[in-house]
Amino acid sequence: MPNTEKFYKDGLRFECQGSGKCCTSHGEFGFVFLTPEDRRRFADHLKITTRDFTMKYCDRTNGVWHLKEDPKNPDCMFLEGKRCGVYKARPSQCRTWPFWKEVMNAKSWAKDVAAFCPGVGKGKLWSEKEIDSVLAAENASEKRLGK
């Protein structure tokens, strides 16, 4: 019988420490992908049309929209100092960090995420149920990405 017990069954502590690390040099975590809702939310926030937002700030890779990246500066273009300059309108991908399905296994969490993100192990204890609901939201937005 497969072991279905999740490594986060007792919850995980995470609270953003404002390091800005997840917004700089995404490295192996890749692009900031954008669902249609993300692009609309950004456009509303910036008081421009979704089309203008897409033309000015987005690129498409393998059919999936993401924020443009400057090869000379891998920081997100919306990072201001160590803070997100569009926090209220930040995309789903940024809202669901660090509970991404790719890293939701004990090994990746301990080795990659904890080493990368200073918020891991600090502050709020996220219950299994809360983490599962973040993962469900992430799955739903991935479907809308068309990956």
Would you give the end-to-end CA distance of the chain in angstroms? Answer: 32
**Residue closer to ligand SF4, measured from CB, 7 or 137:** 137
* Sites of contact with ligand SF4 (CB under 6 A): 23, 32, 76, 78-79, 84, 86, 90, 94
Min CB(145)–ligand SF4 separation in Å: 15
**Residue closer to ligand SF4, measured from CB, 76 or 131:** 76
* Residue of 147, 33, 9 whose CA lies nearest to 97: 33
Min CB(69)–ligand SF4 separation in Å: 11
CA 42 to chain centre: 15
CA distances from 139 to 28, 92, 105, 144 (A): 20, 10, 16, 9
**Residue closer to ligand SF4, measured from CB, 53 or 78:** 78
**Residue closer to ligand SF4, measured from CB, 69 or 128:** 69
Instruction: Map residue 121 onto helix, strand or coil.
Output: strand
Min CB(80)–ligand SF4 separation in Å: 8
Min CB(30)–ligand SF4 separation in Å: 11
Min CB(110)–ligand SF4 separation in Å: 23
108: left (phi over 0), alpha (psi -120 to 50) or beta: alpha
Q: Is the Cα torsion angle 127, 109, 136, 61 positive or negative in sign?
A: positive
**Residue closer to ligand SF4, measured from CB, 12 or 76:** 76
